[in-house]
Amino acid sequence: MGNRKHSKIDQLDPTVKETVDEMIKTGALYREIVDYIKQNGMSVSIAAVGRYAKSLMSTLDALRMSQQNFRAIMEETEKYPDLDITEGILRLLSGQMLDAVSKMDEEHLKNVDFDTLSKHAIALTRAAAYKRNVDIKNKDILENGAEQFQSLIFEAMAAERPELFKEVKKFLKEKTKAG
C-alpha cells in the first residue's frame, strides 16, 4: 500500500471529500468530479482526480483483501476450535507466501531477493515457534493451577467430609481405569 500522498482533494471539506469518494466508488466521470469540486470552491485537474481515484481504489482494494483474509482466518478458527487466530494468521501468511513464489515465472524468480524472502520465512517460523512456546507455557500454568485447586478441594473434603472424599477418590480411580 505504501505511504499515501496528500492531494488537493484531501484538503477539501470532509463532507465534500466524502461525496467525491462516493462519486469515485460509483464510477462517476472524472470531469463530473472536477465540476463538483469546482462548485465547492476549489479547482483541480482531471489528472489530479485520476491520481486520487487510483489511490483511493487501491486503498479500498487492500481493505477488501484484508477483510477477506480476516474472514478466511475466522472460518478456519471456526472449523478447528483448538486453532486460535494467531495460528490462523500464520497459516494464511505461509500459504500466501508459498502461493506467490509458486506463481512466479522463471525470469521473475531470478530477480527475487532470496535473502529477504528467507528472512520473512524465518520470521514466520519464529512467530509460530514463539506462539507454540507460549501455548505450552499457558497450558502448564493452567494444569498446575488446576492441580493446586484440586489438592485444596481434596484436602478440605478429606478433613471435613471423609466419606465423600473416599467416594470421589473411588469414582476417579474407576474413570482412570476405564480410560
pLDDT per position as a tens digit, 101-131:
778 787 777 777 777 777 777 777 777 778 7
Provide the domain limits for residue 27: 1-80
Pick the last residue of a domain from 80, 107, 125: 80
Mark whether 94 and 163 lie in a shared domain: yes
pLDDT in tens, 34-76: 999 999 999 999 999 999 999 999 888 888 887 887 787 777 7
Mark whether 74 and 93 lie in a shared domain: no
Mark whether 33 and 57 lie in a shared domain: yes
The CB density around residue 49, as the number of other CB atoms within 10 Å, is 25
Tell me, letter by letter, the H, E, C secondary structure of 142-172.
HHHHHHHHHHHHHHHHHHHCHHHHHHHHHHH
Mark whether 106 and 51 lie in a shared domain: no
pLDDT reported for residue 39: 94
| Structure-model confidence comparison of residues 93 and 34, the more confident one | 34
Number of domains observed in the structure of the chain:
2
Pick the last residue of a domain from 42, 63, 80: 80
Rounded Cα–Cα distance for residues 25 and 40 (Å): 19
Q: Find the distance separating the first CA and the last CA of the chain, reported in whole Å.
A: 55
Mark whether 91 and 70 lie in a shared domain: no
Mark whether 65 and 90 lie in a shared domain: no
32 pLDDT above the threshold of 90: yes
Q: Report how far apart, in Å, the C-alpha atoms of 18 and of each of 70, 83, 103, 133, 160 are.
A: 26, 40, 38, 47, 71
